Structure 1
Amino acid sequence: MYISKLNIKGFRFFNDNFTLPLNKGLTVLVGENGSGKSTVIDSIRLLLGEDEYNRSGISLNDFHRPFSVESARPVANIRIDCIFDELEGPEQIAYLPWLKPSNVNQAELHLEAINKEDARGRIRKNMWGGTSRRGIFEWELVNSINCVYLPPLRDAEEKLNSYRGSRLARLLTSLNGSGDEDKRLEEKVKEQNNELLSDPLIKSANGLIKKCLIDSVGEILGQDVSIQFSEINFNKIIHQLRLLFFPEIKEGEIPREAFRDLSENSLGYNNLLYLATIIAEMEAKNYVSTTSLKVLLIEEPEAHLHPQLQTRLLQYLQGAAEENNIQVIITTHSPTIAAAVGLDPVVVMSSSPLSQERKAIALTNCGLDRKTKFFLERWLDITKSVLLFSKGVILVEGISEAILFSEFVKRVLEQETLEDYGISVVNIDGIYFKYFMQLFCGYKIVEENFESCDNIPIRCVGITDCDPEGSNIGEGDGNNIDGCKNPQRFLVHDLRNHTSNCRLSINSKTFEFDLALEGNNLAIMNLALENITETDGDIKKRARIAKSMDWRSTTSCEKIVEALLLLKRIEKKKGEFAQELAMLLKSEDEPDFEVPSYIRDAILYVTGKSN
């Protein structure tokens, strides 16, 4: 049993019906700030009655108000619904009032809140299970669901220390199950108390306190006293326990006095101890009940953890969710986490800045065939997974384009940057555009019938080389691509005809060659070549001459010859050349440099300045 679908309407960010698909094990919600990830978590908390962090419930501020000058009135009600899926025999019996008549493997839970306070200043809520709201609602069913929430700024040290209701006490209560361990633990503590009381020092202190009481009020009005090492009631014993740590795991038993208080530990490792205690508690509940749903909600699990620990933690959570039948739902801003778990758990949340329309897209619903999925899971590392958090994506073939692109953008957008638009440049190290664009285009690229599928609703553009046959330079201009060897060239027309979300922009030959043909670019490009050439030979001498020429006054044939010569000379050091050229373009002198039209068009498209 797990929550397979969540519907939200009128709650905070979400005005219209918002539907979120959820996985049986791990679901990772990624997306930019303001996409509604925390609102999703809070809606689940409201529905399942999670209150560990003393949430007071729904307030008037929770009712959606449109960002509109004409009308900013809040909506009349909030509606949150969820579908539970894959209920088996015992679960169908336990949650019988919530079952769907049309499908006994599914159950429903609903919450509705009216935008009106009662006499006590509370918002009236109504909850019901199943399809009819008229039946008697059994709160025991909601209370049987074990929902735990970890906020983004959690105090792990406090939650693991000794106090009533601590996480450690909850774990021990869960392990106790039927209560068979109560008497055994109580007897041990009782024996320790008796042994302590027989110590002369303790007996002396106890007798002295008793004497002072008698002296002060007399034997008739006085009270007897007894020093005790600890409470002997099971519940009070476990509430006094606290967790200690040792900074490494060693073979053999570590002396107890070597362990330290959590206040001496790092914030990151305390977070890991906290998570481990919660997972252990949920695992312990498997021995108590097989019909209780266990839901773990975690916001920003990356808090205070370096990348290797983030990866290891998420892989652990993914395994623990499957092994212990726990539904884990996390939100994250970490590309490391987004890259660590594969594509299946990832749901991208996005919003349109103009319409405020919000969508949740499960990557597995984006029409990924087996080959595409395998490819993306190998390539979506920490540097490339930033595309899941962006408002737009530019895909480039190699390191040269990636290094220079920010300088091109400043020239096209007049000193604005891609960061101003929330757009990321991703180097895909090749021409694998169809695999990445499958996430954004909205149709199955590998099929000829152009079947539609889900997509991340942001713009994506690719920058690629024509690589023409022989001397067919100039034929790959974005429209006439017949002379190109590039096997991805079919995407140029396919994307333009079947989606408004993706484009592939293609040049006439290669990146550096096309740069060289524009305006007087050959001058500064030869200056870059001169700077990276160590020996004072023919290459450096020719570059010194070429950097001083006015290439605007030369013929196109002369430019092509010089561009081909430059391309040959930087063939084995394109990355170094791009780095030097980027430094020259970034200098305060603002050198004369023009951006090729195919790159300019791509920048204008992805920023929404053109179609």
Structure 2
Amino acid sequence: MRISKVKISHFKCYDETFTLDLNAGLNVIVGTNESGKTTILEAIHLALTGLLHGRPLRHDLTSYLFNLAAQDRYVESLSTGAPLPPPAITIELFFAGEGPELAELEGNGNSEKIKASGVIYKIAFDEDNYKDAYEALVKTGELTSIPIEYYDATTTSFARKRLTARNIPIKSALIDSSSSRLQNGSDLYVSRIIRDVLEEAERASISQAHRKLKEAFVADPNLGLINQRITKAAKISQKKVSISVDLSSQTAWESSLMTYIDKVPFQYIGKGEQCVIKTKLALSAKKNAEATAILLEEPENHLSHARLNELIADLTDEHGQKQIIISTHSSFVANKLGLDHLIVLRDGAVARISELKASDFFKKLAGYDTLRLALAKKAILVEGDSDELVVQRAYMDAHAGRLPIQDGIDVISVGTAFLRFLELAETLKIPVAVVTDNDGDAAAVAKKYTAYEDSKTVKLCYDPVVDTGPLEIKGKPYNYNTLEPKLLKANDRATLNPILGVLTQTDDELRLHMRGAKTETALAIFGSKTKIKYPDYITKAIGL
């Protein structure tokens, strides 16, 4: 059995209902910061366990869980005389599979009104108990926020029956290896994982050994002498003042014992090793080992590619039969786990690489730059490295020396694969400028990009003017419609000669030089102290 779909409403960054279909096995969720990756994992875990950040949420409700826009609409309506109903957080999980456990959860009590198996976790106004008190509060006009004290959290099945986490057949384990909480020098995350790994008898044995150690400390005669001196020196009370250790807690060993790795305290080993150990320990814990859904938050934190590769291999080898949902920023993780499993988030929009027409291209794309466009705030797509350098320098000249990436704009060299990248950009509504040569046929360029002519996200930048001339190279006409000759057209030989470190005597001689030294030309322009003029189509692109 597995989670086939999750629907989230008014929870954290999600306002109107957000829907995400999930694969049966591996799901790799990618997105920029604040795109909602972590919220999805938290929502799934919350609906299955009732826990948020390791604590039962029902008794720790806060208005900060609600989407800010939903809060604002509600608060603004309170002053209109026609207040909106108090907003509610809803998390729906649709289950797939077979078995009597799922049959008991089956019904049409879901937002889609279809017969399905699943659960609904809801944080909503408790009308049965607080209707009169709430209406009286609204009439006073003093209500300026969500009345969270009148709310309750409930879990029900699609069959409209109240549930507890124990009644839900799908179990989840949420693992965030980057978290670090120390108490008395011990990492609580590790201590609690170790506690879960141990059997009850083993935990009792450790607790007894720890108690004997503390009792020996209390009975030490040196401690008695020290306490006498404290009482005499402090003079803060007429009663006896002393120091000791806490003997009251049966689980005190969890926070007072130190975890060592090769005789080195855990918190002093490398952050990468800490992440690997925490993740592996968490996955081996009895409760998590029994989980059918593994939720892993950014496993790449602090890890080199080698260590990350090792962790991913262990994860897929040992838990590949389970449903695994990973959030990541890493192209390495996405490529290593397979782009068929990749889900890209952006401003509530969802794109699956496997569903794009250009799917095969992205799967075969060399290196690990697949996600640059998806993670960029904006992007400028260029044909090659020379274009990339010139566009970046043009941007810097127009923006007080700032590189495009400093403003969230990634300049990406895509060769001739513009249309493939534009499909992804259009799906995710990523503002993109395409910088391309007209190659002597402006009409052909316009025709190639007809599908994006009215796009609100794609800006096509090319020179509509086709230049010609008598220059030939080995009997073939010289192409006057690429970047280098357009740069010469926008400037002149007297400007470019000193920048390029040449003494060409004619424009054709300079054209041939720039044609034969494209990279050197672009590097010289990028690093020059002298500013130049740029063709209009490049100026248009940097105004993205």
Normalised to the residue count of structure 1, the TM-score between the two structures is 0.64
CA distance in 2, matches of 1:187, 1:70: 53
Which residues of 2 match residues 274-353 of structure 1 at below 5 A? 274-281=278-285, 285-286=289-290, 293-298=292-297, 300-323=298-321, 325-330=322-327, 332-351=328-347
Please tell me whether the aligned partners of residues 487 and 534 of structure 2 are also in contact (alpha carbons under 8 angstroms). Answer: yes
Asked if 1:110 corresponds to 2:121, the answer is yes
CA distance in 2, matches of 1:187, 1:583: 69
Asked if 1:169 corresponds to 2:195, the answer is yes
Asked if 1:600 corresponds to 2:539, the answer is yes
Structure 1, residues 461-512: CA drift from partner, whole Å, max 9, x if none?
A: 3222344xxxxxxx434xx23xxxxxx8743223215x43334434552222
The AA in structure 2 aligned to 1:333 is: H
Structure 1, residues 340-396: CA drift from partner, whole Å, max 9, x if none?
A: 433233322223xxxxxx33333334x33xxx3232123264445222211222221
Name 2:387's counterpart in structure 1: 401
Please tell me whether the aligned partners of residues 97 and 129 of structure 1 are also in contact (alpha carbons under 8 angstroms). Answer: no
Displacement after TM superposition at 1:278 (Å): 1.8
Classify 1:514/1:121 alpha carbon distance in 2 versus 1 (closer, same or farther; 3 Å). closer
CA distance in 1, matches of 2:71, 2:293: 40
Which residues of 2 match residues 467-486 of structure 1 at below 5 A? 467=439, 475-477=440-442, 480-481=443-444
The AA in structure 2 aligned to 1:110 is: Y
Name 1:80's counterpart in structure 2: 90
Name 1:501's counterpart in structure 2: 457
Classify 1:395/1:282 alpha carbon distance in 2 versus 1 (closer, same or farther; 3 Å). farther
Classify 1:55/1:81 alpha carbon distance in 2 versus 1 (closer, same or farther; 3 Å). closer
Structure 1, residues 131-151: CA drift from partner, whole Å, max 9, x if none?
A: 354x34354224862333427
CA distance in 1, matches of 2:513, 2:122: 68
Name 1:20's counterpart in structure 2: 20
Structure 1, residues 174-206: CA drift from partner, whole Å, max 9, x if none?
A: xxxxx9xx6xx79999xxx9xxx9xxxx9xx9x
SS in 2 for 1:438: helix
Please tell me whether the aligned partners of residues 29 and 348 of structure 1 are also in contact (alpha carbons under 8 angstroms). Answer: yes
Classify 1:526/1:90 alpha carbon distance in 2 versus 1 (closer, same or farther; 3 Å). farther
SS in 2 for 1:410: helix
The AA in structure 2 aligned to 1:329 is: I
CA distance in 1, matches of 2:303, 2:494: 48
461, 465, 470: which one pairs with 2:437?
465
Classify 1:112/1:413 alpha carbon distance in 2 versus 1 (closer, same or farther; 3 Å). same
Displacement after TM superposition at 1:47 (Å): 1.8
Please tell me whether the aligned partners of residues 517 and 563 of structure 1 are also in contact (alpha carbons under 8 angstroms). Answer: no
Name 2:350's counterpart in structure 1: 360
Please tell me whether the aligned partners of residues 282 and 326 of structure 1 are also in contact (alpha carbons under 8 angstroms). Answer: no
Name 1:217's counterpart in structure 2: none
Displacement after TM superposition at 1:420 (Å): 5.5
Please tell me whether the aligned partners of residues 28 and 343 of structure 2 are also in contact (alpha carbons under 8 angstroms). Answer: yes
Displacement after TM superposition at 1:121 (Å): 6.8
Name 2:54's counterpart in structure 1: 53
Asked if 1:529 corresponds to 2:526, the answer is no
The AA in structure 1 aligned to 2:487 is: L
CA distance in 1, matches of 2:126, 2:527: 58
CA distance in 2, matches of 1:506, 1:273: 52
Unaligned regions of 5+ residues in structure 2, if any?
Answer: 78-83, 134-146, 221-249, 467-480
Please tell me whether the aligned partners of residues 4 and 21 of structure 2 are also in contact (alpha carbons under 8 angstroms). Answer: yes
Structure 1, residues 396-424: CA drift from partner, whole Å, max 9, x if none?
A: 12111122222112345676653464221
CA distance in 1, matches of 2:100, 2:286: 19
Asked if 1:432 corresponds to 2:417, the answer is yes
SS in 1 for 2:419: helix
Percent sequence identity over aligned pairs: 20
Classify 1:263/1:121 alpha carbon distance in 2 versus 1 (closer, same or farther; 3 Å). same
Structure 1, residues 100-150: CA drift from partner, whole Å, max 9, x if none?
A: 8998774243323239997997452243434354x3435422486233342
SS in 1 for 2:124: strand
SS in 2 for 1:85: strand
CA distance in 2, matches of 1:285, 1:433: 45
The AA in structure 2 aligned to 1:434 is: L
Classify 1:476/1:419 alpha carbon distance in 2 versus 1 (closer, same or farther; 3 Å). same
Normalised to the residue count of structure 2, the TM-score between the two structures is 0.71
Q: Which moved more, 1:141-150 or 1:112-121?
A: 112-121
CA distance in 2, matches of 1:417, 1:86: 48
Classify 1:20/1:102 alpha carbon distance in 2 versus 1 (closer, same or farther; 3 Å). closer
Displacement after TM superposition at 1:311 (Å): 4.4
Across the aligned residues of Structure 1 and Structure 2, the Cα RMSD in angstroms comes to 4.4
The AA in structure 1 aligned to 2:386 is: S
CA distance in 2, matches of 1:58, 1:525: 66
Name 1:581's counterpart in structure 2: 525
Please tell me whether the aligned partners of residues 383 and 426 of structure 1 are also in contact (alpha carbons under 8 angstroms). Answer: no
SS in 1 for 2:89: strand
Classify 1:142/1:65 alpha carbon distance in 2 versus 1 (closer, same or farther; 3 Å). same
Aligned length: 466
Name 2:235's counterpart in structure 1: none
Which residues of 2 match residues 367-382 of structure 1 at below 5 A? 367-368=356-357, 372-379=358-365, 381-382=367-368
Classify 1:130/1:312 alpha carbon distance in 2 versus 1 (closer, same or farther; 3 Å). same
Q: Which moved more, 1:412-421 or 1:98-107?
A: 98-107
Name 1:564's counterpart in structure 2: 511
Asked if 1:34 corresponds to 2:34, the answer is yes
CA distance in 2, matches of 1:341, 1:424: 25
Name 1:245's counterpart in structure 2: 261
Please tell me whether the aligned partners of residues 66 and 89 of structure 2 are also in contact (alpha carbons under 8 angstroms). Answer: no
Classify 1:151/1:124 alpha carbon distance in 2 versus 1 (closer, same or farther; 3 Å). farther
Classify 1:115/1:12 alpha carbon distance in 2 versus 1 (closer, same or farther; 3 Å). farther
The AA in structure 2 aligned to 1:131 is: F
The AA in structure 2 aligned to 1:281 is: A
The AA in structure 2 aligned to 1:400 is: S
SS in 2 for 1:29: strand
Name 2:187's counterpart in structure 1: 158
CA distance in 2, matches of 1:380, 1:437: 18
Classify 1:380/1:278 alpha carbon distance in 2 versus 1 (closer, same or farther; 3 Å). farther
Please tell me whether the aligned partners of residues 10 and 16 of structure 2 are also in contact (alpha carbons under 8 angstroms). Answer: yes
Which residues of 2 match residues 125-274 of structure 1 at below 5 A? 125-133=152-160, 135-142=161-168, 145-150=171-176, 152-155=178-181, 158-159=187-188, 161-162=190-191, 166-173=192-199, 244-246=260-262, 259-274=263-278
SS in 2 for 1:111: strand
Please tell me whether the aligned partners of residues 11 and 89 of structure 2 are also in contact (alpha carbons under 8 angstroms). Answer: yes
Classify 1:70/1:12 alpha carbon distance in 2 versus 1 (closer, same or farther; 3 Å). closer
Please tell me whether the aligned partners of residues 123 and 152 of structure 2 are also in contact (alpha carbons under 8 angstroms). Answer: yes
The AA in structure 2 aligned to 1:153 is: S
Classify 1:424/1:187 alpha carbon distance in 2 versus 1 (closer, same or farther; 3 Å). closer
Structure 1, residues 38-95: CA drift from partner, whole Å, max 9, x if none?
A: 3333333432223563364431222333399998649722232323332223543565
CA distance in 1, matches of 2:203, 2:188: 24
SS in 2 for 1:77: coil
Name 1:550's counterpart in structure 2: none
